Structure 1
Amino acid sequence: MDFALVGLIASLILLMVLALKGMDLLIAAPICALVVALSNGLPIFATQEQGDIANYSDSYLGGFSQFLKVWFLVFLTGALYGKLMEYSGGAKSIAHWIIEHVGMKRAVTAVVLATGILTYGGVSAFIAAFAVYPLAASLFKQADLPHRFIPAALALGSVTFTMTSAGSMEIQNWLPAPYLGTTPYAAWQVSLFTALAMAAIGIYWLNRMIHTAYQQGERFILPQASIIASVEAEQQQNVNPLTAVLSLLAVFITAFLFHQDYSNNALVIALVAGCVVLVVGYWRQLSQHFTKVGSEGALGALIAGANTSAVVGFGSVVKATPAFAFAVDAVTAIPGSPLVSAAIAVTVIAGITGSASGGQTIALPILGPIYLDAGANPEHLHRTISLSSGVLDSLPHNGYVVTLIRAICGESHQSAYLALAKMTMVVPGICTVLALYFLA
Structure 2
Amino acid sequence: MLSMIGLIVGLGLLIYFTMKGMNLLVAAPLCALFVALMSGLPLFPQLVEEGGVNFLTSYMGGFTSFIMSWFPMFLLGAIFGKVMEDSGAADSVSKALVNAFGLKYAVLAIVIACAVLTYGGVSLFVVAFSVYPMALSLFKQADLPRRFIPAALAFGSVTFTMTSAGSPEIQNWIPMDYLDTTPYAGWEVSILVAVLMMILGYWWLKRMINKAVGKGERFEARENDPTSLERDLPNPWMGQIPLFVVLVISFIFHHDLGTSALIIALLGGVITTYVLNRRYFTDFSKALSDGTIGALIAIGNTAAVVGFGGVAKAVPAFNVAVDAMASIPGSPLIGGAIAVSVIAGMTGSASGGQTIALPLLAPGYIDAGVNQEALHRTVAISSGALDSLPHNGYVVTTIRGICGETHKDAYGPVAAVTVIVPLIGLAVAIALFSLGLGI
Normalising by structure 2, report the TM-score: 0.79
Determine if the alignment matches structure 1 residue 360 to structure 2 residue 351: yes
Partner of 1:97: 96
Partner of 1:265: 260
Change (3 A) 1:295 1:133: closer
| Partners of 1:408 and 1:197 in 2: CA distance | 28
| Partners of 2:262 and 2:184 in 1: CA distance | 13
Partner of 1:136: 139
Confirm or deny: 8 A CA contact 1:42 1:54 kept in the other structure.
Answer: yes
Q: What are the residue-to-residue correspondences of 1:70-85 with 2, within 5 Å?
A: 70-85=69-84
Change (3 A) 1:275 1:330: same
Matched to 2:215, the amino acid is E
Normalising by structure 1, report the TM-score: 0.79
Partner of 1:431: 425
Determine if the alignment matches structure 1 residue 219 to structure 2 residue 210: no
Q: Which runs of 5+ in 1 are unaligned?
A: none
Q: Matched residue of 2:50: which SS?
A: coil
- The offset of 1:138, in angstroms, is 2.7
- The offset of 1:83, in angstroms, is 2.9
Partner of 2:304: 310
| Partners of 1:268 and 1:32 in 2: CA distance | 33
Confirm or deny: 8 A CA contact 1:179 1:364 kept in the other structure.
Answer: no
Q: Matched residue of 2:228: which SS?
A: helix
- The offset of 1:140, in angstroms, is 3.9
Partner of 2:412: 418
Deviation readout 1:251-293 (Å, 9 max, x if unpaired): 333333323332332333333333343333223335951x334
- The offset of 1:232, in angstroms, is 10
- The offset of 1:59, in angstroms, is 1.1
| RMSD over equivalenced CA pairs, Å | 3.9
Match for residue 386 of structure 2 among 389, 392, 412 = 392
Partner of 1:325: 319
Partner of 1:296: 290
Q: Matched residue of 2:386: which SS?
A: coil
Matched to 1:360, the amino acid is S
- The offset of 1:15, in angstroms, is 0.9
| Partners of 2:216 and 2:325 in 1: CA distance | 46
Confirm or deny: 8 A CA contact 1:312 1:359 kept in the other structure.
Answer: no
Confirm or deny: 8 A CA contact 1:384 1:432 kept in the other structure.
Answer: yes
Q: Which runs of 5+ in 2 are unaligned?
A: none
Determine if the alignment matches structure 1 residue 52 to structure 2 residue 51: yes
Deviation readout 1:100-131 (Å, 9 max, x if unpaired): 32113335434433554466564431453343
Q: Matched residue of 2:388: which SS?
A: coil
Q: Matched residue of 2:41: which SS?
A: coil
Determine if the alignment matches structure 1 residue 280 to structure 2 residue 275: yes
Query: Please, which moves more after superposition, 121-130 or 131-140?
Result: 121-130
Deviation readout 1:356-411 (Å, 9 max, x if unpaired): xx4524x4443343344343888776655553333123334456656766788787
- The offset of 1:184, in angstroms, is 7.1
Q: Matched residue of 1:334: which SS?
A: coil
| Partners of 2:26 and 2:173 in 1: CA distance | 28
Query: Please, which moves more after superposition, 51-60 or 274-283?
Result: 274-283
Confirm or deny: 8 A CA contact 1:60 1:317 kept in the other structure.
Answer: yes
| Partners of 2:230 and 2:414 in 1: CA distance | 25
Change (3 A) 1:182 1:107: same
Confirm or deny: 8 A CA contact 1:119 1:170 kept in the other structure.
Answer: yes
- The offset of 1:44, in angstroms, is 0.7
Determine if the alignment matches structure 1 residue 18 to structure 2 residue 25: no
Change (3 A) 1:222 1:66: closer
Number of residue pairs the alignment of both structures matches: 426
Q: Percent same amino acid at aligned positions?
A: 48
- The offset of 1:187, in angstroms, is 6.4
Partner of 2:233: 238
Change (3 A) 1:49 1:316: closer
Change (3 A) 1:124 1:49: closer
| Partners of 1:71 and 1:272 in 2: CA distance | 15
Deviation readout 1:39-70 (Å, 9 max, x if unpaired): 11111124466333321111112222223323
- The offset of 1:421, in angstroms, is 2.0
Q: Matched residue of 2:263: which SS?
A: helix
- The offset of 1:132, in angstroms, is 1.1
| Partners of 2:179 and 2:291 in 1: CA distance | 31
